Amino acid sequence: MQAISVLASSELKWQETEDPVLSPSEVLIEIKATAINRADLMQRRGLYPPPPGASPIMGLECAGVVVQVGDQVSRHQVGDRVCALLAGGGYAELTAVDEGSVIPIPEGLDFSQAAALPEVFATAWLNLFIEAGLQPGERVLLHAGASGVGTAAIQLCRAFGAESYVTAGSEDKIATCLALGASQGFDRNQGGFSEALQAFWADGVDVVLDPVGAGYLADNLKVLRMNGRLILIGLMSGARTEIDLAQLMMKRIRVIGSTLRARPLPEKAAIMAELEQFVWPKITTGVIKPIIETIMPIEQANEAHDLVASDTTVGKVVLSVAD
């Protein structure tokens, strides 16, 4: 098969490599589309190696057609149109993945749209509804609201009865977030967000979903109200800072660190099963939709990575894989 390799120069090249080996509990997917995540950019730089046993090929999600199933597989069969959450291997013509991480493509979506779903919706669902236990009527602060995870999280909040406030990098991005269902937003280039948020919601928020890390910690704790939950999913501004422990105690705040890629397969299967049960029907009816900035051929992976790194995109950049 062909797949994207990272050359010594750090350039990405679509070239021949070995086919994946199928285990008894896995399905082999002929990939029609995949999508870029910031974790891919980090892996390319050597900063985010794949978990033990995972494919060294980049790509944390895909959509395609099942072309082979292992002896122990019971949920899928050859010919199924599916999308999958991967620990690696998406930038390729073929990938082998545990059957629990594979679910049907929502009715009405093509492969490119489906490829934009698994990683961001699994991340948003896991952290908002499983880790934070988000309830209808609660309020959420979403940093990087125009990102793939952010646009997924806005729609999930709206669809399941929560309100969201976003931060993003431009007024245009804020406008997009509002159109998706956010209640209000703040352009992070205008300074700190806490005063603007508290001017809109004086008593703050119940949950913060934060991929930024150290630089936002103090203000995150400031805007959380009693029994608030801070879910930390990234460290874009660094990993070390001081923390006001008194705020944690007085407001009974929980700080939860969370990653998805290295979780055990049964946990990933449970997340994907909940997406299929609760979220996929809302995609089928159009209540929730994939948000795609652009679709590029996988041979243009270098340019696609540059586009994501530019921080100008909204939603996902998808890579199509030709037959």
What are the residue boundaries of the structural domains of the chain, listed by start?
Answer: 2-117+273-320, 121-257
One fold for 2-117+273-320 and 121-257: no
Task: Note the pLDDT tens digit of each residue in 179-231.
Answer: 999 999 999 999 899 999 999 999 999 999 999 998 899 999 999 999 999 99
Residue 82 has pLDDT above 70, yes or no: yes
Residue 235 has pLDDT above 90, yes or no: no
As a whole number, the mean pLDDT across the chain is: 97
Q: Residue 154 corresponds to which amino acid? A: I
Q: For residues 242-247, give the mean pLDDT.
A: 92
Report the Cα 243 to chain-centroid distance in Å: 27
Residues 186, 165, 128, 273, CA torsion sign? negative
Helix, strand, coil distribution of the chain in percent, nearest 5: 35, 25, 40
Above pLDDT 70, what percent of the chain?
100
Residue 36 has pLDDT above 80, yes or no: yes
What backbone torsions phi and psi does residue 292 show, to the nearest 5 degrees?
Answer: -125, 125
3-class DSSP assignment, residue 207: strand
**Which pTM was predicted?**
0.96
Evaluate whether the domain defined by 121-257 bears CATH number 3.10.105.10. no
Task: Identify the residue whose tokens are 């236990």.
Answer: 133
Above pLDDT 90, what percent of the chain?
96
Q: Which CATH number fits domain 2-117+273-320: 3.90.180.10, 2.40.50.140, 2.120.10.30, 3.40.50.300?
A: 3.90.180.10
Residues 3 and 91: beta-carbon distance below 8 Å: yes
Task: Note the pLDDT tens digit of each residue in 56-71.
Answer: 999 999 999 999 999 9
Residue 284 has pLDDT above 90, yes or no: yes
Residue 322 has pLDDT above 90, yes or no: no
Q: For residues 268-277, give the mean pLDDT.
A: 98
Q: For residues 57-86, give the mean pLDDT.
A: 98
Q: For residues 255-274, give the mean pLDDT.
A: 96
Give the Å distances, CA to CA, from 235 to 225, 238, 284, 302: 23, 5, 34, 24
How far is the C-alpha of 94 from the C-alpha of 155, rounded, in Å? Answer: 31
Task: Identify the residue whose tokens are 């930024």.
Answer: 212
How far is the C-alpha of 31 from the C-alpha of 173, rounded, in Å? Answer: 31
Residue 195: what pLDDT?
96
Residue 30: what pLDDT?
98
Give the Å distances, CA to CA, from 253 to 2, 35, 280: 48, 35, 32
Residue 323: what pLDDT?
62
